[in-house]
């Protein structure tokens, strides 16, 4: 993509939606998962830190930076579970990708939709390594904004085509049924989380509540299950009873962040967990046996957002779904910033 240095490609929500539809949601997720996997395979080459979180009574605002030495990326994201009552999203986000050599931004993008896509792509990528072979049935507990993306990702990457839904708000489950109609799923709406997990080989918990919730209790988790725990992602915001954690093999993104934010905040700080990138790279074992309970304690890590921005940037030349933002002051004589302002008045 040829571009002037002082304008920055901007992918709006409208453009992101059109890009996703033009590429196809399943293909988008599969290609994004490959991008994430490729970046996970070079995990040591990234600058990593736990995200910077600003907590308030109703939610959290977070900055998630990383760099591979060539590109630098960060995401701004919030998590406000009560927002939906006022007609607002629980999670919204935007992100930036920059050139490390000059520090100039290369891309500014909406990331509310992109976060749902990258979270789902990551969950399914992890499950591909950990879930019991041939599992086609997934319980999805919490049927809000992320739910359909998770379902489509698990179908695209693992062949999951039977869903058992549960949400405390039946309207949320009805919305998922409506949105996934004709997409090749057999869907059962359940009356409780307990009912939803019956017969499922994979359980995705993706609820939003600012508390230590108990979406799954120990008695609901049978041998061989893979748990994709997505909703617990903040201090004091978890979904699983601690007894489940003690029976599971636990896989995480970046331990220093997950120990603060994930389900494992309920466990001692030195409790053994496996970094998922090591499984992807063949450096650590994944599922040990058909009886093992595997748990992906997902909180969302900056490298996944970096991969997502990198993927979207790679699509722009072919699909053209961006506008150019006049974001950077760029005087002809670099030191004449003041003069540039004066000349604007003359025009």
- Taking CB under 6 A as the rule, does residue 144 contact ligand NAD? yes
d(CA 176, CA 189): 10
Q: What is the per-residue DSSP string for 60-105?
A: EEEEEEEE-SSEEEEEEEEE-GGGGGGT--S--EEEEEEETTT--E
d(CA 216, CA 232): 12
Nearest to 300 by CA among 233, 208, 206, 238: 233
| In the block, residue with structure tokens 């240095």 | 5
Among 9, 40, 90, 164, which residue sits at the site for ligand NAD (rule: CB under 6 A)? Answer: 90
- When the beta carbons of 140 and 158 are compared against ligand NAD, the nearer one is 140
Q: What residues from 228 to 247 belong to the interface with ligand NAD (CB under 6 A)?
A: 230-231, 233
- Taking CB under 6 A as the rule, does residue 145 contact ligand NAD? yes
Which DSSP state fits 175? H
Q: What residues from 92 to 131 belong to the interface with ligand NAD (CB under 6 A)?
A: 115, 119
Among 50, 71, 213, 252, which residue sits at the site for ligand NAD (rule: CB under 6 A)? Answer: 213
The yes-or-no answer on residue 233 being catalytic is: yes
Q: Which stretch binds ligand NAD (CB under 6 A): 9-17, 67-75, 180-188, 226-234?
A: 226-234
Residues contacting ligand NAD: total by CB under 6 A: 30
- When the beta carbons of 15 and 51 are compared against ligand NAD, the nearer one is 51
Q: Choosing from 39, 233, 249, 297, which is the catalytic residue?
A: 233
Query: Could you tell me the CA-to-CA distances from 261 to 58, 66, 179, 216, 265 in Å, in that order?
Result: 16, 18, 31, 18, 6
- Taking CB under 6 A as the rule, does residue 215 contact ligand NAD? yes
- Taking CB under 6 A as the rule, does residue 163 contact ligand NAD? no
The alpha carbon of 222 is separated from its chain's Cα centroid by a whole number of angstroms, namely: 26
d(CA 31, CA 63): 25
Residues with a catalytic annotation lie at 233
List of residues contacting ligand NAD (CB under 6 A): 79, 81, 84, 90-91, 115, 119, 141-146, 166-169, 172, 206-209, 213, 215, 230-231, 233, 298-300
């Amino acid at each position: 993509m040829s571009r002037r240095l002082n304008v920055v490609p901007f992918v709006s929500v409208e453009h992101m939606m059109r890009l996703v539809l033009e590429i196809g949601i399943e293909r988008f997720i599969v290609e994004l998962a490959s991008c994430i996997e490729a970046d996970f395979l070079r995990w040591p080459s990234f600058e990593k830190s736990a995200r910077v979180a600003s907590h308030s009574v109703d939610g959290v605002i977070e900055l998630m930076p990383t760099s591979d030495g060539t590109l630098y990326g960060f995401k701004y994201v919030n998590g406000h579970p009560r927002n939906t009552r006022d007609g607002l999203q629980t999670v919204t986000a935007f992100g930036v990708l920059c050139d490390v050599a000059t520090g100039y931004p290369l891309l500014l993008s909406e990331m509310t939709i992109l976060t749902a896509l990258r979270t789902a792509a990551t969950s399914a990528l992890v499950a591909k390594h950990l879930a019991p072979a041939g599992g086609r049935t997934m319980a999805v507990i919490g049927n809000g904004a992320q739910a359909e993306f998770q379902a489509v990702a698990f179908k695209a990457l693992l062949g999951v085509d039977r869903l058992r839904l549960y949400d405390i708000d039946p309207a949320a489950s009805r919305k998922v049924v409506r949105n996934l109609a004709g997409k090749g799923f057999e869907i059962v709406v359940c009356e409780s989380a307990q009912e939803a997990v019956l017969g499922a080989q994979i359980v995705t918990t993706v609820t939003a509540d600012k508390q230590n919730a108990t979406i799954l209790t120990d008695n609901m988790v049978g041998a061989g299950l893979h748990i994709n725990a997505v909703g617990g992602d903040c201090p004091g915001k978890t979904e699983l009873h601690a007894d489940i954690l003690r029976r599971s093999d636990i896989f995480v993104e970046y331990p220093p962040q997950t120990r603060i934010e994930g389900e494992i905040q309920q466990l001692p700080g030195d409790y053994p967990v496996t970094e998922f990138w090591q499984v992807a790279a063949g450096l650590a074992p994944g599922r040990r046996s058909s009886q093992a309970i595997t748990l992906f304690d997902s909180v969302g890590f900056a490298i996944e957002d970096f991969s997502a921005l990198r993927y979207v940037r790679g699509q722009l030349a072919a699909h053209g779904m961006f506008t150019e933002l006049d974001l950077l002051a760029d005087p002809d004589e670099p030191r004449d910033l003041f003069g540039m302002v004066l000349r604007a008045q003359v025009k």
